[in-house]
Structure 1
Amino acid sequence: MEPPSGPASRRHVPWSRLLLAVSLLTFWTPPTTAQLTVEAVPPLAAEGSDVFLVAHNVTKIPLGYGWYRGERGDNTQLIASYRVDNDATVYGPVYSGREALYPNGTLLIQNVTQKDTGSYTLLVTKKDLQTEIQTGHLHVYPVLPTPVITSNNSNPREHEDTVVLTCGSETQNTSYMWWINSQSLPKSTRLELSEDKRTLTVVTVTRNDPGPYVCEARNPVSVSRSDPFTLDVLWQENSRALGVGAITGIVIGLLLVLTPLALLGYFIFLHRQMEEPSGDRFTLEAGLQAPLVLQ
């Protein structure tokens, strides 16, 4: 009697069915609960504005909420907590009086300042006492004032002095732009910008560099442009061209020289008239007075 070729219970499954099963397992994933998220509205806040830290995908009818400064639920950094069932709010150590907590878990911060920039953590407690935690971030920027252009030398001398122009006071997270004569900066080896573009250097100024110059300061929440600034470049006239002062000096000099010469010539003329011989005059006068003799 021959031994059996294999176990009677083993069956060969077609490869097509195996591939179908694998593909179904690959593309099918069990449904998951949406994750708790925190969104700042607006995401970039101007100083003095109001900001909402909105809670998304909060579990239905939770037991309560808690908001904290920082990236964890530290009771020493509690802003406020809210219990849903009795509508009770408890304020924590870092509550400033500008925060309000809504029943849906959203936190309002009024009249924000740059000191409010940072992380905020929401802790949600469910009815089964399980918790969810999520951190959001708030960015607050100042509203930029009108920048004022300052100069190290407002009256530079042509071909001698280098002028450094500065756009307003230094502010973080601010970019700068410059214009000359209402146009963007031309490419020139005599125009140099600092790394942050806040400072413009004009090397060895010429009479063609008076401006006006305008700068712009910009951050994520505001844009501000300066008033025009003009340089008073001091320069000398070309030596071949005579100025009014030089011409006046020459005229006066000529008059001082020519006037004595004219007077001297006049006196010489008079002197010569006075020295003319008297005999010639007598002969002429005698000839005029002699009687005419008739023969």
Structure 2
Amino acid sequence: MEKKSEGTLAIILLALIQGFLASGAVEVQPSINPAVVGDTVTLFLSPPASLKSGSWALGESLILTWLGEQQAVFPSHNGRALVNILTGALTLSSVTVADSGVYVVQSSDPQLRASASITVLEPISNITLKANQADLMEFNSSAVATCSVSSGSSLSFLWLNGSSEVTASDRVQLTDGNSTLTIVSVTRYDQGPFRCHVFNAVSNGTSAPVNFTISYGPDNMALTVNDQNMTSLLVGSNLTMFCSAQSGPPAQLQWAFRGEFVNTTGPLLELYNVTEHQSGPYSCLAFNSHTNMNSNITSHIIIAKSPFSGSEQQAVSGRPFPLLLLVGFFFSWLGK
């Protein structure tokens, strides 16, 4: 009677185990995920199970089947797939990107079905950044840079301008899976250096920098007198005027006094032991031969034998320069 009870208990226990396995309690766990191309990946059953027969498939495509100790591997995985009949584990060697997907194991003795997904990625190599053209005109040109790799899969792209991340906006477009950067109507602040950072779950890398040469200006001119904003001097003083302009490439600078050119070019005008007759408007004219644009700034200098009151001092910045002189300045630089 006791032996019969023990036999019945064993049958019930086996039925419970088979029901447990069939209920989906068995899980498939990959040894590596994601895996790198060329790796060996093993798909373990947890808990391990001794399966008398069964099959492994990638999606709907069979990889192998087995019955007892006999295994049949399908051509797609011939020489690369092996099942451990003691544990039900599947080992895949020399995996490729095509081996990514959902793996399904099935058995009828005992009954079970379980699955797991793995991803196989190709490492990134040789990141290259190329620009459509390097020389651009502010507000009139668009910058285009394309990032590519020699190898790599499931790529993500991040763009950098210096140390700042570049994000899409009204002027900035990221296309082709973010591998192409387009900046519409470039400004002087879009010169770079630009880099693209490429990454996936198993590798990453950053390109060499690319810079754009953007011609702009001249504008935002400034004029200082004797390192100050003063415009009144005493007879016998030295007069030093410094002119600056924002310009790319640097602007050509020419000086004029009372509407007539003086024999001085460059940012510095120096006069020594000045007299009252040297009072008047001093102008700095800037010309950019790349943009064909010009700008000017004028300051009225007063030179007297005795100091004037502060109310009599005046400075004129940005006063419109005589048209004929501007035209003459433009053509004089073209003739050089």
What is the match of residue 147 of structure 1?
Answer: 127
| Alpha-carbon shift at residue 78 of structure 1 (Å) | 3.6
What is the match of residue 137 of structure 1?
Answer: 117
2:73 is the alignment partner of 1:91? yes
What is the match of residue 20 of structure 2?
Answer: 33
Whether the 8 Å contact between 1:237 and 1:243 is mirrored in structure 2 is no
Query: Hey, what's the Cα distance between the residues in 1 that align with 2:92 and 2:214?
Result: 52
Structure 1 or 2: more strand by fraction: 2
| Alpha-carbon shift at residue 171 of structure 1 (Å) | 7.3
Say which of 94, 101, 118 aligns to 2:101. 118
Residues 140 and 121 (structure 1), Cα distance of their counterparts in 2 relative to 1, 3 Å cut: same
| Alpha-carbon shift at residue 56 of structure 1 (Å) | 1.8
Give a deviation string over 1:118-152, Cα, whole Å, max 9, x none.
Answer: 232212242xxx53222332222221223211212
Q: Specify the SS of the correspondent of 2:125.
A: coil
Query: Hey, what's the Cα distance between the residues in 2 that align with 1:107 and 1:116?
Result: 13
What is the match of residue 106 of structure 1?
Answer: 89
Say which of 46, 56, 59 aligns to 2:46. 56
Q: Given the two structures, how large is their TM-score scaled by the length of structure 1?
A: 0.59
Residues 194-205 of structure 1 correspond to what in structure 2 (within 5 A)? 194=175, 196-205=177-186
Residues 9-24 of structure 1 correspond to what in structure 2 (within 5 A)? none
Structure exhibiting the larger radius of gyration computed from Cα positions: 1
Whether the 8 Å contact between 1:78 and 1:93 is mirrored in structure 2 is no
| Alpha-carbon shift at residue 222 of structure 1 (Å) | 2.0
Percent of pairs with identical residues: 24
Structure 1 regions of 5+ residues with no counterpart? 1-29, 72-76, 254-295
Query: Hey, what's the Cα distance between the residues in 2 that align with 1:88 and 1:214?
Result: 55
Structure 2 regions of 5+ residues with no counterpart? 1-15, 216-247, 255-264, 268-288, 290-328
2:48 is the alignment partner of 1:68? no
Query: Hey, what's the Cα distance between the residues in 2 that align with 1:124 and 1:179?
Result: 52
Whether the 8 Å contact between 2:51 and 2:88 is mirrored in structure 1 is no
Q: Specify the SS of the correspondent of 2:98.
A: helix
Q: Specify the SS of the correspondent of 1:33.
A: helix
User: AA paired with 1:48?
Assistant: G
Deviates more, 1:96-105 or 1:61-70: 61-70
| Alpha-carbon shift at residue 186 of structure 1 (Å) | 7.8
Structure 1 or 2: more helix by fraction: 1
Query: Hey, what's the Cα distance between the residues in 2 that align with 1:237 and 1:141?
Result: 49
2:154 is the alignment partner of 1:173? yes
Say which of 4, 23, 45 aligns to 2:35. 45
Paired residues in the alignment total 211
| Alpha-carbon shift at residue 177 of structure 1 (Å) | 0.9
Whether the 8 Å contact between 2:54 and 2:108 is mirrored in structure 1 is yes
